[in-house]
Amino acid sequence: MFSRGMKLILMVAFQAMSLISISTASLQYNFYGSSCPNAEQTISNVVYGLIDADPSMAPALLRLHFHDCFVMGCDASILLDPTKANGSPEKTAIPLRGYDAVNKIKAAVEAVCPGKVSCADILAFAARDSVAKSGGFVYPVPAGSRDGNVSSAFSVFSSIPSPFFDAGELVQSFAAKGLTVDDLVALSGAHSIGTAHCSGFKNRLYPTVDASLDASYAAALRAACPDGSAADDGVVNNSPVSPATLGNQYFKNALAGRVLFTSDAALLTGQNDTAEKVRENAGDLTAWMARFAASMVKMGGIEVLTGARGEVRRFCNVTNS
Ligand code: HEM
Ligand SMILES: *[C@@H]1O[C@H](CO)[C@@H](O)[C@H](O)[C@H]1NC(C)=O
Ligand SMILES: *[C@@H]1O[C@H](CO)[C@@H](O)[C@H](O)[C@H]1NC(C)=O
Ligand SMILES: *[C@@H]1O[C@H](CO)[C@@H](O)[C@H](O)[C@H]1NC(C)=O
| Average pLDDT rounded to a whole number, residues 44-53 | 98
Q: Is the pLDDT of residue 228 over 90?
A: no
* Residue 308 covered by a domain: no
Number of domains making up the chain? 2
Distance CA 288, CA 244 (A): 17
Of the residues 127, 160, 193, which one is the last residue of a structural domain?
160
**Is 16 domain-assigned?**
no
Number of Cβ atoms within 10 Å of the Cβ of 12: 22
Instruction: Evaluate if residue 11 carries a pLDDT over 70.
Output: no
Helix, strand, coil distribution of the chain in percent, nearest 5:
50, 5, 45
- CB atoms under 10 Å from CB of 160, counted, come to 16
Please report, for residues 113, 126, 202, 246, the alpha-carbon distance to residue 89 in angstroms, rounded to integers and kept in the order given. 28, 22, 28, 30
Residue 304 lies in a domain: no
User: Best substitution site from 77, 319, 321 to test ligand 4's pocket, by max atoms within 8 Å of Cβ?
Assistant: 321
First to last CA, the chain: 49
Confidence at residue 321, expressed as pLDDT on a 0 to 100 scale: 87
| Residue 47 falls inside a structural domain | yes
Bridge partners (DSSP) of residue 235 are 197
pLDDT at 7: 41
User: Which residue of 61, 62, 63 sits with most ligand 1 atoms within 8 Å of its CB, as the best mutation to test the pocket?
Assistant: 63
Q: What counts of helices (H) and strands (E) characterise the chain?
A: 12, 2
Write the pLDDT tens digit of every residue in 166-190: 999 999 999 999 999 999 999 999 9
- 251 Cα–ligand 3 center, Å: 22
Where does ligand 4 bind, in terms of residues with CB under 6 Å?
149, 309-311, 319, 321
Pocket of ligand 2 contains residue 83 by CB under 6 Å? yes
Least confident of 21-35, 71-85, 167-181, 277-291: 21-35
Q: 321 versus 114: which is more confidently predicted? A: 114
pLDDT at position 282 over 60: yes
Distances (CA, A) of 277 to 33, 179, 203, 223: 37, 15, 26, 32
Of 109, 138, 160, the position where a domain reaches its end is 160
CA-319 nearest atom, ligand 4 = 14
Residue 317 lies in a domain: no
67 is known as an active-site residue: yes
Q: What's the pLDDT at 8?
A: 53
Q: Is residue 303 part of a domain?
A: no
Ligand 3 site, residue 181, Cβ cutoff 6 A: yes
Three-class SS state of 237: strand
Q: Which residue has the higher pLDDT, 96 or 3?
A: 96
Which candidate, 63, 195, 87, 192, places its Cα nearest to that of 134? Answer: 192
Percent of the chain with pLDDT over 70: 91
Does residue 238 register a pLDDT over 90? yes
* 3-state SS assignment for residue 233: coil
Q: Do 81 and 152 share a domain, yes or no?
A: yes
Q: In angstroms, what is the span from residue 149 Cα to ligand 4's centroid?
A: 6
Whether 188 and 268 share a structural domain: yes
Q: What would you measure as the largest C-alpha separation in the chain, in angstroms?
A: 60
Kindly list the distances between the CA atom of residue 14 and the CA atoms of 77, 138, 171, 179, in Å, as whole numbers in the listed order. 30, 11, 27, 20
* Same-domain check for residues 154 and 180: no
Whether 306 maps to a domain, the answer reads no
- Shortest-distance Cα residue to atom 14 of ligand 2: 81
Residue in 63, 67, 204, 252 annotated catalytic: 67
Mean per-residue pLDDT of the chain: 93
Provide the residue type at 161 as one letter.
Answer: P
CATH number at residue 75: 1.10.520.10
Q: Could you tell me if the CB of 59 is within 6 A of ligand 1?
A: yes
- Residues in binding site for heme b: 191
Residue 218 identity: A
Same domain flag for 229 and 281: yes
- Expressed as residue numbers, the domain containing 250 is 167-295
pLDDT of residue 271: 80
Q: Contact at 8 Å (CB) between 205 and 188?
A: no
Residue 10 lies in a domain: no
206 and 78 co-located in one domain: no
Measured from the CB, is residue 317 less than 6 Å from ligand 2? Answer: yes
CA atoms within 13 A on the CB side of 102: 33
Query: Do residue 189 and residue 153 come from a single domain?
Result: no
With bands split at pLDDT 50, 70 and 90, how would you rate the model's confidence at 24?
very low
Tell me which residue of 124, 108, 97, 98 sits closest to 42, measured CA to CA.
108
Of 145, 160, 175, at which residue does a domain stop?
A: 160
Residues 81, 149, single domain; the answer is yes
CATH of the domain at 184: 1.10.420.10
Backbone angle region of 26, left / alpha / beta, with phi > 0 → left and psi within -120 to 50 → alpha: alpha
Residues 204 and 247 in one domain: yes
Contacts of 133 (CB under 8 A, 6+ apart): 47, 48, 51, 58
Q: Do residues 153 and 28 share a domain?
A: yes
Same domain, 82 and 188: no
Question: How distant, in Å, are the alpha carbons of 206, 219, 229, 315 from that of 226?
Answer: 9, 11, 7, 42
Q: For residues 153 and 177, state if they share a domain.
A: no
Query: Is residue 151 located within the same domain as residue 27?
Result: yes
